[in-house]
Amino acid sequence: MANKFYITTPIFYPNANLHMGHAYTITICDIVARFNRLQGKDVHFLTGSDENTIKVVKAATEAGKTPLQFTDMVVDNFKRLFKDLDISYDQFIRTSDKEIHWPGAIMLWNKLVESGDIYKKKYKGLYCPGCEEFKKEKELVNGKCPLHNLIPEEIEEENYFFKLSKYQDFLKEKINSDELSIEPATRKKEVLSFLSEPLEDVSFSRAVKGESWGIPIPNDPSQVMYVWCDALSNYISAIGYGRDEETFKKFWPADYHVIGKDILRFHAVFWPAMLHSAGLELPKKIFVHGMITSGGRKMSKTLGNVIDPYELMNEYGAESMRYFLAREISTTEDGDMTKESFKDAYNANLANGLGNLVSRIMKMAETNLDAPVLIEEAKIYPKISYSSRFDMFDIQKAIDDVWEYIKSIDSDIQIGKPFKLVKEDKQKGKEMIEQFVKELYIVAQGLEPFMPKTSLEIKRLIKENKSPEQPLFLRKI
Ligand code: MSP
């Protein structure tokens, strides 16, 4: 279907509440999903939780709960955060969901078996529970996983393996030719460099120890699916693979998988190989964003340097958070974040920049115009032409375009001095103020994907010809 747009976030581990890094991933997806809806596309925006993992079992045990009780609680918190952040997801998938997720995950497994790509082997390796991945000695720093600062566990067991090595040339070809597009180019290069070394097959199951938590391997309940094999399949199970062929056909292949750079290999190597083995189309694009760092290190639960989004949202509001993530964090590079940098950006660009502009223009309009300015939406949309930015997934530049527009209105007000003109020549002054109100409407439209509530509020003020009862963004000291 030409008009559909299927975009996914990674599914989040519900072993703890989400932090700013996770909020980043889903907020940029939301912005792109909203933009595409405004373009008239039939958008399906998927997010969810990655539950069948050792991390979850450990956290649940520590909390004295069963994994399901525990994840029910954490997933509720995820959903509350998404609601508060105004995330417009269409579907939330849980990998513990036996009706929605399991049929697809099992069907995919069976297809891999049918293709002759699953075999059993005894294996001994060093497993990082942070990455949920076996590590090679050479990847460790001082015996620890450098990403999580954890000593990996030595695991020896008999597992089912997936013949990843068979797909080396296939993957190179698809990625090189951009049939599977990895963006930005630096990440594509990184994957191709990884693919220049011989690929090893991967262990795709774990032996059940104690109580079973996870998807049992068809015909062998002594093993459950390896979390990444299970998790990746959410992208197809959610939209009906294994249970609703019609919806699946409507939305697959995904237009965008959006991920952080830490999970690039799973998405750009494991996932396309699995799909091809199962005779399925590859996703069109994988967009890889950088990491939010704090004190120079990736913000992560395991490292203990996280900022809880509510710490900032309670003080500054969700719209400010959306602004900050879109504009003040590079869409492709790592970006450090502190509470100070948040406050500075808020004061400079929201309290002063946007907030001031709205107050200024609407005050003039309220005082001088007899009736609200009539806006013919269709005539002006889309005035801020950032579509090409969205084509490149450049969220930061797209919102920069809006702020450039704000700046240009500011300077036009300085030059035109409508507040003076209206005193000297009432008619001309009024016309100029009307023009500025229209310009402000264009700003409101431009803001729609980024700050939907602010956009609505500005439109309301224009429609009612009112200045804000109180500043849109109060200055913080
Ligand atoms: N469960 C896996 C994904 C499976 S997808 C089939 C996972 N979960 S996660 O909860 O650890 O991370 C989810 C997303 O949040 C990933 O895209 C990850 O890159 C992102 N982030 C986690 N920490 C982050 C930062 N500090 N900064 C930016 N994004 C970060 O991985």
CA 213 to chain centroid: 27
- For residue 461, give both structure tokens: 């003020």
Catalytic option among 174, 257, 298, 438: 298
Q: What is the DSSP letter of 373?
A: P
- For residue 163, give both structure tokens: 């013949």
Q: Which of 25, 51, 92 to mutate to test the pocket of ligand 1 (most atoms within 8 A of CB)?
A: 25
List the residue whose alpha carbon is closest to atom 10 of ligand 1. 12
Predicted local confidence at residue 138, as pLDDT: 86
249 in active site: no
Q: Edge to edge, what strands does the sheet with 292-294 contain?
A: 297-298, 292-294, 335-336
- For residue 92, give both structure tokens: 């939330």
44 in active site: no
Catalytic option among 131, 257, 289, 430: 131
Backbone angles phi, psi at 274, to 5 degrees: -60, -45
Q: Residue 395 C-alpha to ligand 1 middle, in angstroms?
A: 19
* 363-389 b/e (C-beta count within 10 Å ≥ 16 → b): ebbbebeeebbebeeeeeeeebebeeb
Q: Residue 259 C-alpha to ligand 1 middle, in angstroms?
A: 7
Of 181, 173, 174, the closest CA to residue 392 belongs to 181
- For residue 282, give both structure tokens: 């590859």
148 in active site: yes
Distance between CA atoms of 260 and 262, rounded to whole angstroms? 5
| Claim: this prediction has a pTM higher than 0.85 | yes
List the residue whose alpha carbon is closest to atom 13 of ligand 1. 12
Q: Could you list the pLDDT tens digit for every one of the 477 residues in the chain?
A: 679 999 999 999 999 999 999 999 999 999 999 999 999 999 999 999 999 998 899 999 999 999 999 999 999 999 999 999 999 999 999 999 999 999 999 999 999 999 999 999 998 888 888 888 888 888 898 889 888 888 898 888 899 999 999 999 999 999 999 999 999 999 999 999 999 999 999 999 999 887 778 999 999 999 999 999 999 999 999 999 999 999 999 999 999 999 999 999 999 999 999 999 999 999 999 999 999 998 778 887 777 888 899 999 999 999 999 999 999 999 999 988 888 999 999 999 999 999 999 999 999 999 999 999 999 876 665 678 899 999 999 999 999 999 999 999 999 999 999 999 999 999 999 999 999 999 999 999 999 999 999 999 999 999 999 999 999 999 998
Q: Where are the beta strands (DSSP E) in 175-334?
A: 181-183, 202-203, 205-207, 216-217, 220-225, 256-260, 285-289, 292-294, 297-298
Q: How deeply is 104 buried, as exposed, middle or buried, from its count of CB atoms within 10 A (0-12, 13-18, 19+)? A: buried
CA 394 to chain centroid: 13
Catalytic option among 44, 301, 430, 459: 301
Predicted local confidence at residue 149, as pLDDT: 83
Structural domains of the chain, ranges and CATH numbers in brackets? 337-464 (1.10.730.10)
The answer to whether 332 and 182 are in contact (CB under 8 A) is no
Give the pairing of strands 42-49 and 91-94.
Answer: parallel
- For residue 471, give both structure tokens: 């500043």
Q: How many CB atoms lie within 10 A of CB 195?
A: 19
The answer to whether 126 and 153 are in contact (CB under 8 A) is yes
The answer to whether 455 and 448 are in contact (CB under 8 A) is yes
State which ligand 1 atom lies nearest to the alpha carbon of 18. 10
19 in active site: yes
The answer to whether 132 and 263 are in contact (CB under 8 A) is no
- For residue 426, give both structure tokens: 């009432």
29 in active site: no
Three-state DSSP state, 93? strand
Q: Which residues contact residue 97 at a Cβ distance below 8 angstroms, ignoring those fewer than 6 apart? A: none
The answer to whether 108 and 241 are in contact (CB under 8 A) is yes
Q: Residue 11 C-alpha to ligand 1 middle, in angstroms?
A: 8
Predicted local confidence at residue 117, as pLDDT: 98
276 in active site: no
Q: Which of 7, 8, 11, 22 to mutate to test the pocket of ligand 1 (most atoms within 8 A of CB)?
A: 22
Three-state DSSP state, 217? strand
CA 431 to chain centroid: 43
What does each C-alpha distance from 238 to 37, 83, 98, 133, 251 come to in angstroms?
Answer: 20, 20, 11, 24, 10
Measured between alpha carbons, how far apart are the two ends of the chain, in Å? 51
